[in-house]
Amino acid sequence: MENYVWLISPIHKNKIRGFKLDEHPAVLDTIKLSFDGAIMSVLQEKVEGFYEEQKVDLIRHGYEKMPQKIDVTDEESFYKLLAYYIELE
């Protein structure tokens, strides 16, 4: 679990429209789900680059705005979404 980062706010897998986790076994190997299907943590290496690229720190401090709509259609967009919900130290 040392390579995983926890999401600040878990996301239930049913909330992500257009991307079925069951159809992407490689993605399932990089996340930890709760017993009810909420995404609790993700491998840090999968989201770290997107966290910096999307300036999540600046969004959290109010200097940038979070996108209004995030379409999740593939693995990359899935990890980009998760990057908004983590906090790197």
CA distance 89 to 77: 23
In a domain, residue 32? The reply is: yes
Residue 36 lies in a domain: yes
Q: What percent of the chain has pLDDT over 70?
A: 99
Any domain includes 68: yes
Q: So what's the pLDDT on residue 31? A: 97
| Least confidently predicted of 18-22, 45-49, 52-56, 78-82 | 18-22
At 9-48, the pLDDT tens digits run: 999 998 898 899 989 999 999 999 999 999 999 999 999 9
Residue 88 maps to a domain: no
Query: How many domains does the structure of the chain reveal?
Result: 1
Residue-range definition of the domain harbouring residue 78:
4-83
Q: How far apart are CA 47 and CA 41, in angstroms?
A: 11
- The token duo for 16 is 């992500």
Q: Write down the pTM of the prediction.
A: 0.90
